[in-house]
Structure 1
Amino acid sequence: MFSNRPLSYLIWESVLQNIDANKRFFLYQQCPALRQTENALPLKVDTLLLDGSVFTVNDAVYKVGIVRKYHTDKGGSAVECDVYGFSEHLQSDGVFLGFVKEKEEELREVRKGKAILLGLPDTADKSEKLEMLTKFINETEEVLYRANLRRNKLPPPFDHFLQVKVSTKYGFREIERVGYIRTISDASDSLFKAVFQKRNTIWIKKLEIENSELLERNLGALNVNLKVRIRNMTIKWGVFMENIQNVLDYENHPLETIEISRDHFVRQENILYHPIVNTAQKLIITVSESDLSELINKRVHVRKTSNTRNKVIALVNHWLENGKQIRSCFSFEIHNKLDAKNTIKEIEEENRKMNWDLKLNVLPTGSRIPPNA
């Protein structure tokens, strides 16, 4: 028999902490009585991906897009547009007219191509090509129809709405749809704040930052007492460490790994020497053109670098002159077998010539580096 007796506070705490983060967001939205408790408990996230105005929590993608009332694409448009559905870069009359002219020329050429194809003998791929050309013609005609309405200042054939959509491997659901009176950025900010703003503690196994605009715009709006624990972080573009160090509890809970791409060096050259990077158990560099011996973090894996031989030789020479720090470990990926073979041969020759006591371990790609290396 089922009991109507409500769960106690302690049981609710235990249950909520072990529920998937996305289900907790849904409970927060649907059950106002649980909100204070839900916000106070650590939010456990397996994977958080930030990419512009889109963010992904575990397997759920949260996206704000522009949709049309009667001709809705499931994904919605991810860019701002006018009432006729044309993106911001086409707002100038000169640019717009050039765009229309180009589309008209494309349409004429494709129609000619379709007419020629119709006169040819049937082949295995003829129907597929005809279907592709027909689809292109229909889509282009629809674009030119809207362009004609805009040029003649006639009413658009649809209304635009901002839509919040959550997608998972099981499908998608629309959370909310409102009139298109705000920008996508503003709406995305509101969505991000609704999910994270009032929380006290967030535990993230893996944080991946493709684009940090959403994060940096909203850091100031988060709970001043928020502490975030991250095990693994990948930065591909655009985040200043100073902006996240106040919420990241890296002193008590250092990162296990932090991976940084070369793009980041362009924007923030000293990122490799930031305390968050220095205290991480392992630093992974996607592309390295820097002097590896200058890195403070001495457990480094380089996914790609130019002239691996010279990098290794320079590193060993630095150790011979200055001493090798305890627990220093540098590893390099070389995906081309011939390049790997030649590089290893060159380093071994240098090892013999210089009388180094250098141990060179060659591991298959994807192998774990021994903990005592």
Structure 2
Amino acid sequence: MSLTPLPYECQKCVLQFFEANRRFKLVERCDSLKAADKAAPLHIYKLYMNPRVIRINRHRYTLGLLRHLPKDHVYYSPYINNVNLDGGAAYDMDQYGLKDPRCNEVLSPGDLKVESKEKINNMEDMTMEMLQFAMRDFIRPQGRMQVQQREDPESSSEDDEDEAEDLPAEGSDDEDDDPQEAQIRRILGDAYLPRARYSSSESEASESEDEPDIDPAVTDQLEAYTNPYSWREENEPAPYRFGIRFQRMNLDFRRDRETFHGIIEYLDYNKKMYDAMKYITEKLFGKRAHPIVIKTLELGDAGGVYRLPENFKVKVSNMRFGTEFGLLWDGLNSIFHESTLPFKSLHMPLEHDHPVIHATQRLVIGTEKMFGENFAWIPFLLKLPQKNVYMLHSPLFHHDYVQLIDNWIETPKSIGTCFTFGVKQYHATQSTLNLLGDHPMVVSKRMEGVDCTEFPHCFNIPLTYESELNVYGKKRTENLDPLEFMPHVSWCLVFEVMPIGSALPLED
């Protein structure tokens, strides 16, 4: 039986309907399809990118830097071993094992650099002074902590006692005024227990029942980050054997530890990780004849260099930015095809006054933590230019909803305006609806097509001769597209302006 290959035009037609990851695998195995693959439009349902990770639909492509040492080595670190097991470090290192900042200065055609605000969120970003400061706090009589640049542990502890006097005591005003200690506490969390909080003498420590044990995992982690500074001062290369770990994983099976559904490759560290990321993006996205069509694009918060192919372009419907919208937009706006703007939907960042945000058709607002607990929500919502707004995990109280209704009665919104508020618990939505039912202008009706036994009634308020406000609750369903941003929400409270007569009288 003879097989006739598909003509080139048919190949293009078929490939554009393949799921993106399946298409990559198929083309990787069939060289004859590579030309058609680059010529056919590529469609991606959801793409997440940061300088280290690419997630295409339900497949994640990750790079990490591994540091290997024998277990009997003097510098063997359980912390570094755990980092290796988790995929490796997320950044390139120099010969001493320190984070290599020079990598962000190396740019090739297509690379885009995103500036970031100067902030320290991880231990690898802490300076040597901060690390030594934290390590001094962890030195206690029963502890094992050893700092490379300190006196012999057999020597007198008078210096340690003097250092303890310099540290703020618990409850003192100086505690909140020390930005260095505040940063350390934010990074280490509950594990950070300054030595000055507790008795510093060995006798007191042995008698005190409240003296907490030192977490060896934290001290080991601190040592792992301070040792490279000592190696650099002594001009000794790090004793690690470096390597790059590449992982491609199907996230639908990430909890299946018996059977790993993915690919892991190990590479020598003779080139930097940014070279490897450039190679990956070139293979996946490079030299395509059409902009990549993406339903939802999400960009991570971290600054750095996005290693992208030259002339990389995307058409995006829904957009999720990190909190630093302005910096991300300034660095990456060139990748968007001119037909992308305005976005159909944009997940709300902090910088809500940006013109790109104002032009978005549908706005998705994050949790109240992004704005602060005392944020004035109602004035903010009333100023939004969008007709469609979705709030994840609504922070509004019952009286806020009543205030919103009163404002819309006084200043009616246009038909099509729809505000949706995500609510985690049924009784919270029910309590709000019960309160709205007591409003003097509310009439109980029903919404055709909204089949929800928990919320059978719709609260109807006439606004003008042509429009009415309908308030109703509904259960979130997986196939309800506008609520794809609400994965942890079970119920929604909807405020929608409709043509008069949209709500129907209650049936007898």
**TM-score where L is the length of structure 2:** 0.52
The one-letter amino acid of 1:81's match is M
Query: What TM-score do you get using the length of structure 1 for normalisation?
Result: 0.67
Instruction: Kindly indicate whether residue 157 of structure 2 is the aligned counterpart of residue 77 of structure 1.
Output: no
1:59-138 matches, cutoff 5 A: 59-68=58-67, 73-74=84-85, 75-87=87-99, 89=124, 94-95=129-130, 108=143
**Counterpart AA for 1:83:** Q
Provide Cα deviations, 1:83-107, integer angstroms capped at 9, x if missing partner.
Answer: 3545564796545655776787699
Structure-2 residue corresponding to 1:19: 18
2:354 matched residue in structure 1: 270
Contiguous gaps of at least 5 residues in structure 1: 111-132
Contact 1:212 1:239 in 2 (8 A): no
1:202-229 Cα offsets, whole Å, 9 max, x none, are 2334333333757x84679434xx4524
The structural deviation recorded for 1:76 is: 1.8
**After the TM superposition, which residues 181-330 of structure 1 pair with which residues of structure 2 at under 5 Å, given as runs?**
181-182=271-272, 184=273, 187-199=276-288, 200-211=290-301, 213=303, 217=306, 221-223=310-312, 226-230=313-317, 232-240=318-326, 243=333, 246-247=336-337, 249-250=339-340, 255=344, 258-261=345-348, 264-265=349-350, 267-270=351-354, 273-275=357-359, 277-278=360-361, 280=362, 283-287=363-367, 289=377, 291-330=380-419
Do 2:424 and 2:491's aligned partners in 1 also have CA atoms closer than 8 Å?
no
Query: RMSD of aligned C-alpha atoms?
Result: 4.7
Identity among equivalent positions (%) equals: 20
Q: Give the drift of 1:80.
A: 3.6
Q: Is the alpha carbon distance of 1:332 and 1:156 closer, same or farther for their aligned partners in structure 2, counting shifts above 3 Å? A: closer
1:235 and 1:90 mapped to 2: Cα distance? 23
Is contact 1:196–1:222 with CA below 8 Å preserved after alignment?
no
Tell me which residue corresponds to 1:122.
Answer: none
CA contact (8 A) 1:287 1:304 kept: yes
SS of the aligned residue for 1:192 comes to helix
**2:474 aligned with 1:363:** yes
Please identify, of 322-331 and 78-87, the stretch whose mean Cα deviation from structure 2 is larger.
Answer: 78-87
State how many pairs are aligned.
335
Q: Which moved more, 1:98-107 or 1:172-181?
A: 98-107
Name the SS of the counterpart of 1:269 in structure 2: coil
Find the residue that maps to 2:473 and give its secondary structure.
coil
- Give the drift of 1:41: 0.9
Residue 154 (structure 2) aligns with: none
**Is the 8 Å Cα contact of residues 56 and 62 (structure 1) preserved in structure 2?**
yes
More helix by share: 1
1:245 and 1:144 mapped to 2: Cα distance? 36
- Equivalent residues of 2:281, 2:308 under 8 A apart: no
**How far does the alpha carbon of each residue in 1:6-53 deviate from its partner, in whole angstroms, 9 at most, with x for none?**
432133223422333224334555666543321221112232122442
State the match for 2:242 in structure 1.
160
In structure 2, stretches of 5+ residues that fail to align are: 71-80, 101-123, 146-213, 254-259, 369-376, 443-459, 463-468, 476-489, 504-508
Amino acid at match of 1:79: Y
Query: How far off is 1:142 after superposition?
Result: 9.2
Distance 1:324 1:141 in 2: 57
Counterpart AA for 1:201: P
Letter in 1 for 2:89: S
Distance, in Å, in 1 between the alignment partners of 2:405 and 2:218 is: 63
Shift of 1:54: 1.0
Cα displacement (A) at 1:140: 7.1
